Amino acid sequence: MSNPIISIIMGSESDRPIMEKAGTILNEFELPFEIIVSSAHRMPAKTTEFAATAKERGIKVIIAGAGMAAHLPGVVAAQTTLPVIGVPIASGALHGIDALYSIVQMPSGVPVATVGVDNAKNAAFLAIQMLALSDPDLEAKIIRYRQKLSGV
């Protein structure tokens, strides 16, 4: 596959089964992506390096999944102007409520677009729609996909 234009980053290997669902959708749309595990608190230097260099590496959108305190999407968003889509993961005693609140409640100025708990597929669809703003062929694929969803 060609150089990745979407990054899927997650806080732990334990997030991978959920976050791979985003990859499945991106594969269906034949979009090149990368998958990275980098915890904001266990690997802060790696996370900073990732966020600070993503744009120059050709990445257009970042999908960031994390559970519990779930600061990864916000930490990434703070260090890039690329759009960041956060996926709250249902892990730990609060089953994703904690991650949802952490990700959706970013203070004004540094946004993270937030999808539903464990809904990595919607993060991929949103990323695809962002890319389709400047890619009519991709937009046509989305329209065909939605027609299939509705049985047309």
* Interacting residues toward ligand RP5 by CB under 6 A: 11-12, 14-15, 39, 66-68, 89, 91
Q: Closer CB to ligand RP5, residue 94 or residue 143?
A: 94
Distance of closest approach, residue 77 Cβ to ligand RP5, in angstroms? 16
Q: Closer CB to ligand RP5, residue 31 or residue 66?
A: 66
Distance of closest approach, residue 82 Cβ to ligand RP5, in angstroms? 20
Q: Which residues, 6+ apart, have CB-to-CB distance to 63 below 8 Å?
A: 6, 7, 8, 9, 19, 22, 84, 85, 87, 120, 123, 124, 127
Q: Closer CB to ligand RP5, residue 23 or residue 31?
A: 23
Q: Which residues pair with 34 in a beta bridge?
A: 7
Distance of closest approach, residue 36 Cβ to ligand RP5, in angstroms? 12
Q: Closer CB to ligand RP5, residue 91 or residue 128?
A: 91
Number of C-alpha atoms within 13 angstroms, CB side, residue 78?
A: 12
Cα–Cα distances (Å) from 101 to 105, 116, 123, 137, in that order, read 6, 11, 17, 36
Distance of closest approach, residue 106 Cβ to ligand RP5, in angstroms? 16
